[in-house]
Amino acid sequence: MIKILPTISTTFIALSAICVAVGWYYIRARNQEAHKKWMLVGSLFATIFFIIYVSRTIFVGNTLFGGPDSIKVIYQIFLIFHIVLATVAAVMGIVTLTHAFKKRFAKHKKIGPWTAIIWFATAITGVTVYTLLYLIYPGNTTASMIKVILGF
Ligand code: HEM
């Protein structure tokens, strides 16, 4: 039950990035309706990811890295990089959506590609963290968020 949650939430990040890529393709093809629909579904998937992730952190805790000490620090730096990207992507996503709904399309068009690119980077680094933590070096033990991120 506990292990299935990170798999589901990581799937939602990946699906969300695919929706954003399809949404970008549609606006390049000048299909505004399809762009809007795909971007909203992408935002919904990102929100589902976030809800699962936060509930897991509160009720279960985060998973400790199970790999060798020699790469632990590299893993932790990579994890922090991913968390920073995810936070920036979330804030930029809200700004991008707000510009769209208020019909400030010039501003939306300026920030939209950056939001999408940071979103893709978040998804790629997120899937990498998942692969390291659950597939290559399964740790199995959970700990507080601070210990998982900073190592103490
Ligand atoms: C977080 C979600 C969204 C992202 C990441 C996003 C991203 C983008 C991107 C990358 C472009 C193309 C810029 C270019 O290549 O020139 C764009 C344009 C556009 N988007 Fe979005 N978008 C999002 C949500 C929405 C929503 C919900 C709407 C409708 C309410 C919308 C309406 C438009 C329109 C009308 C344009 C064309 C603007 C123009 O050509 O002047 N977008 N968006």
Percent of the chain with pLDDT over 70: 97
Segment (H or E) for 52? helix 32-59
Residue 3 above 80 pLDDT? no
Amino acid at 119: W
- Per residue in 39-50, pLDDT (tens digit) is 999 999 999 999
Residue 59 above 90 pLDDT? no
Best residue for ligand 1 mutational test, from 25, 37, 108, 114 (most atoms within 8 Å of Cβ):
108
The CATH code of the domain that includes 27 is 1.20.120.80
Mean per-residue pLDDT of the chain: 92
Q: Which domain covers residue 32, as residue numbers?
A: 4-150
CA separation (Å) from 21 to 27, 62, 74?
A: 10, 29, 29
Residue 139 above 80 pLDDT? no
- Per residue in 85-115, pLDDT (tens digit) is 999 999 999 999 999 999 999 999 999 999 9
Q: What atom of ligand 1 comes closest to residue 109's alpha carbon?
A: 13
State the pLDDT at residue 140: 65
Number of domains, the chain? 1
Q: Give 137's DSSP letter.
A: S
Residue 2 above 60 pLDDT? no
Residue 1 above 60 pLDDT? no
Total-model pTM = 0.89
Which residues make beta-bridge pairs with 143?
62
82 CA to centre of own chain: 8
User: Whose CA is closest to atom 10 on ligand 1?
Assistant: 113
108 CB under 6 A from ligand 1?
yes
